[in-house]
Structures are given as structure tokens and as C-alpha cells.
Structure 1
Amino acid sequence: MFWVFLKLGLTSFGGPVAHLGYFREAFVRRRCWLSDAQYSELVALCQILPGPASSQVGMGIGMSQAGYPGLLAAWLGFTLPSALMLILAAYGLAQVESVWLDGVIAGLKLVAVVVVAQALLGMYRSLVSGTRRLLIMFTAAGSMLLLGAVWSQLLVILLAGLAGRLWLGQQTKTAPHTPLTFRGVSSVHGYIWLAMLVLLLAGLPVLGMIYSDAAWRLMDGLVRAGALVFGGGHVVLPLLQNEVVATGLVQESQFLAGYGLAQAVPGPLFTLASYLGAAFADPAAGLPVALGFGLLATLAIFLPAFLLFVGVLPFWQQLQQRPGMHAALAGINAAVVGLLLAAWWNPVIISAVQGMADIGLLVVLAGLVWRGCPVWLLVLAGAAGGALLTLLA
């Protein structure tokens, strides 16, 4: 489990929407660990919850295969590469010319366009059969593009579930359905994990006041940001800026540099916290101290996502067993495809395609995918192509 997710952590560029595409390719299409319906239901759950959605999906896949050890292995494998890269960058061991960095980022954004398109096509074929599901999909996509607010994602999923329950009941009565199960999950565990989350959110501010230490305030801010952000990815940026820059824990120039580097490395964007933790440390204290603060910051921002995910799981499983839930999940599955379609257009395509040169490189990358090019080679081709276009511009 760790090795599979480590390879993804080293190659999954493009942000949370692209990560969902990489995960589907790795676990639904290639390894058949779960079906498209099961994967879509897991994605829907993680999009409802606050926190880094793609990381929570990875946790769910790991836990479904090997319980809590699988969850831990999946999270470590997917998170450590970007966390360590950003810690080293904050300490000053990584220096990248801005022209190369801008080009590489541009190329990797185009890779994300292709990866998400491939995932969308596969999920559409599996989950959107019939005119009614197609209508739910397009309604969800249009609603997200028109509303744009993070809270609208939760509203769209809930309304799609209601539409499925009322509108798709006759179409889904005889369809076989096997909900995704998770090892080691129980209602007692769920209450314990959720209670721990409440204690964490309530206790860290108290400890910060008692000890009056900047390190406590940093960890408190990161935990709060990880627990309260809906949508993950770039949405966490203003929360982090308010917690660490406005409070004087990290300089604004350091914060912006870390944000730029976080977009250039694979894996979850939440590992920006790894950079901030290392940047907070005293440079004179040496690399071990920077590494320690960076890893603690990584744990702080991801811990609420873990506690909330495993705390909600048993109740989600109980909800899936209720009569009529299969029809509701059919509507939710169609809506998830619509949400990904909206995200594919904005921000993936809009931020990636800036001119004819980008369109040309995009066609080349699409051709590589059509020829069965492996993901790691696609990533290298996109990064090299983007850097070359930037140098030639």
C-alpha cells in the first residue's frame, strides 16, 4: 500500500481534481480495488467533509483494503514526497530558476487537463446511464459554474441525492450494488474519533494561552485551517495566510514563495504547511530542527481530516444501508461526475490553457494518453514541454 501511494505521491501533479483522476486510473481501472460506483461514493463523502478531499479519498482507499494500517500507509506514501521537498526548499537546499519553475508548472497544469479528462470519460461511461442521470450531471456542473461558492458543492450533492431518491428509484431497484466497506470501523470508534477532534480544536488554543509560545500558536492555526476549510487545495490559502502571516509567525514573502513551490511539486497542496513549519524554525538551529517543525506542521494540518473522516465513516456506512439509499447514491454519483466536469473547466482548463502553444502541447499530451503512455512519462513530457515553451517565448 505504501509503495503504490508513494509512486502516486511522486507523480500526481495538478492539484486535487487531477489527483482524483490519478487515483481512479490506479485503483479502479488498473488494480480493480473498487468499482466506479464505490469510488464515486467515496469521492462524494470526502467532498462533503471539510479538509483535503483528495487526501481523504486516498485514506479511504487504503482503509478499505487494509484497515487503519492501510490508511496510514496510503497517507504517508502520498504526502511524504511533497512534504520533504518543501521542507528542504524552506531550509534553502532547493533553488529553482523562476523561468524554469513557471514553465514546469504550466506544463504540469496541461497534464492535469488530460488526466482529469480521461477520468471523466471513464466515470461518465460507468455512472451516467440514461437521460435522467445525464440531466443530473449537467445540472450539477452548471450549478457549480454559476454559483462558484465552496458551500454550493455540499448543496449540489445533497440535492442530487434527493433527486436520485425521488426520480431514479424505478431505474435502480434491480441494479446490483455493493457499498464500499472499511475494516475496523464501528460506531464506538466514530464517537471516539469525533470527540478527539473536538478536544483538539478546543484544547490547542488553551495551551497556546497557557504557554504563550509561538510554536503552539502555529500548530493551533494549522489545525484550525485543516478542520474548517471546505474544498481543500487552493481554498486553504486565505485561511493559512490569516493564521500564519497576519499573526506574524511567517513573513508574507516566505508564504508566497512556499505557495509557488507547493504548486510545482506533486502530492497534496496542503503540504504548504510543511514549508511553513520549516520556515518558522530558526535557520541557525540546523536542518534537524527545520525538519522537525516541518513534519509537525504537516501532521497538524492533516490530523483534523483524519479524525473527521474516520469519525464519520461508520455513520456513512449505516446511511448507505437504508432503503432508497441506492437510488439516492445513483443521483449523487451522477452529480459527482458533474462536479468534476465543472472543475475540469474551471480551474483546470482555464488556468492551464493560455494560448495556441498550450493547445499544441495539450494535443501532444492527449496523443500520448491515446497511445497508452504511462503516467510518469506523461508527467515528464508535460514538464519538459512547458519549460521549453517558456524558454522559447
Structure 2
Amino acid sequence: MSRSSSDLVINLASVAKNWRTLKSRLAAKCDCGAVVKADAYGLGMGRVLRPLVQAGCRTFYVAYLEEAIEAAERLRSLEVEFQLQPHACRLLVLAGCEPGDELDFAREKLEPVLVSEEMLQRWLAALEAAGFRPGSQPAALKVDTGMGRLGLEPEQFAQLVQNPKQLSDAGINLLMSHLACADEIEHELNNTQLKRFERSLVQIKRTLPELKGSLSNSAGICLGAEYHFDAVRPGIALYGGKPSLDYDALAPVVELNLPVIQVRDFPEGGCSVGYGASHRFERPARVAIIAAGYADGLLRSLSGKGECWFPSAKGEQGWFAPLVGRVSMDSVIVDITHIPAGAVRVGQCAQIIGDKISLDSLAQAAGTISYEILTSLGNRYRRSYVNTA
């Protein structure tokens, strides 16, 4: 049995469906983009871009220049395939441009999100030195409204808007910020950030009246129309994660099935399993060893907490089975004592993510978020892509 019998199935039709579902929540003039950073959250950016473009998405967000160059090459070929105008698809780089990279952005028609005054000045100086016409290269500007991460401080922003020529020469066409607590719908910081962003947008539109605003990620979309502004930036929701409770309409995207490599009986009981002897059977027990571990994205925090699902070969419902002992690098141990003898066999696959165990359920068991689960899924899985609605 090959190790590649571990199947990570990615439904591209569901990615497109989720984008359309999110788009349907927005006003007609609000742009629904797609965050495809970190290799589309580990699912394969090159494969994910096509169904999104085909569904109508035209704005894409990545974290760094290297990701943007890879995405741009793929998008240019998709523009030809779908008979779109050249550069119909926009690419924004959320971490902006590092020193020395400014002209790579300009040459590749990539849009940096300028997150500091220093970055803005570098952008302007590089474009001027290279002879670009002022305002000819687009960029976004980010203001920090409460995340405490990337972005201009409100005081810095207030000073910057006093120099409209700089903003115009820098090609600023979008003002952005990022919500810190959007997945907690009642959190008071959501409204605080909303008001701060509204004030910043009013300030900058006095000099750049055509400028657009973008505040919301996947969870922010769920907070209501007042958070949508002109553009939204969903990520995890495209890939089947539910950043808030109001996402039941989203389709699951990922299914992970892992093979059993050994079934063992402990007829006498009184034995321990796994590193540290962290789980002990005081009764007769049967276990299945599954071929995946923390090297494959099954986080060590799942030790003694997660579960898997074994379907019945006879078409019956099947059984949940708990993970016992510590998650190892390459394997996990599952207690199958309660499952009829012979129902779980070597070579049979257990579902870790799918219709019985959702991505968010697995994340909750691990004490983390679905973002971490998806981006941790290792490259030892055999990835297969389907297009079933």
C-alpha cells in the first residue's frame, strides 16, 4: 500500500459556489475579491484561481511579491482562456513592497498595499527615479483602526492626507483596514473600527473623491452591509471554513481520508499506547493505526481529543472513533474497540475532514482555527481536484 493512498480531495466547484454565495450578500457595486495567499490556504493557488475567474472574480489578494508573480502568470493565461482584457484581473499584495522591490511591482502591474509612511516614500521615490508618470502605477493604502498590526497610525494618516499630491502621485485608489474581532459578532471593537474607518475614508475622499474603501474579510462580510464599503476580501470562507455562525450556506471544499496501516488487539487490557504512555487501556481494546501525523497537519494538540469516521462497508451509517495517545509525526492511534470486529481493516480509509467531520469541528478539537488546519496540511497527501457541485 503506497503512502500516497492518503487522499486530500479539493472541490473546486465548491470554491466557486462559495464565492458566488458571498457575492450575493453584497450590493451590486461592491467588489468581491478572493484572498489566495499561502497557496490558496494550502489548497493550490494555481488550481483555485481558474474556478474563481470563471465565476466572475477579478480582484485577488496575496501576501508577498513572490506569490503575486506566480499568481500573475496564471491569471494572464486565464485572461486569454476566458477572452478577458489584458490585466482585467487585479493583484494586490497585502504586505506591500520591501526595499528594492518597487519596480518589480510596477513592471508586473502589481498593486502594493502601502502600510507605512516610509513605504509610501520609497514607492514614490522609486517610481520617480525610474521615470514613471506620476499616478500611473496603482497602489492601496492601509490605515490601522485597531488591529495593531500593519497600517498607518491615525495621526500619521491625518498628516498624510494633508498632502494630496503625494497620494495622487502614488496612485492610491483604495483605502484598506483590517478587522481584529469580526469573528465575534458582538465584540465592541467591531463598531469602533467601523467608525474609525468611516472617518478615515471621509478624510481622504476630500482630496481623492474616486477612492474606494475596503474593510471586511470573510467574517466581516457577516457583520452587515455597513461593513462592506466598496470591496471585500474573503479568504477562509471560500475554502469552506466558517469564521462565524452565520455561514451555513457555505459548501465544504476539503475532504481528507487516511488509510489504516495496522489493526491491533490488546486482549488483556492494562496496556498503554503512544509516546509518553499518555493513554492507558484498563480493559481489552482494539486500535487502528492511521498513516498521518503532525508532519501532515494533524496537529499534536489533537492528542486524545480528535476523532475520525469509519464508514460501514455494508452501507450502514458507520462509526466515529476517538484518537488516543499522542499524535506522532507519521501516525495516530484510534480506539476502535466499540466497532464490530473486522469492520475496520488494513487499507481502509478513515475520514478526518468531510461530511461527517467538518473542517471547523477538527479545528475546534485541536484548539485552533480552520485557517491553521488548512495551511498545515502537508505535501505528502495525494491531492485530487474535483468539480462536482
TM-score if structure 1 supplies the norm length?
0.22
- Structure (1 or 2) with the larger CA radius of gyration: 2
TM-score if structure 2 supplies the norm length?
0.22
Which structure has more RCO (C-alpha within 8 Å, separation ≥ 6)?
A: 1
Q: Which has the higher strand share?
A: 2
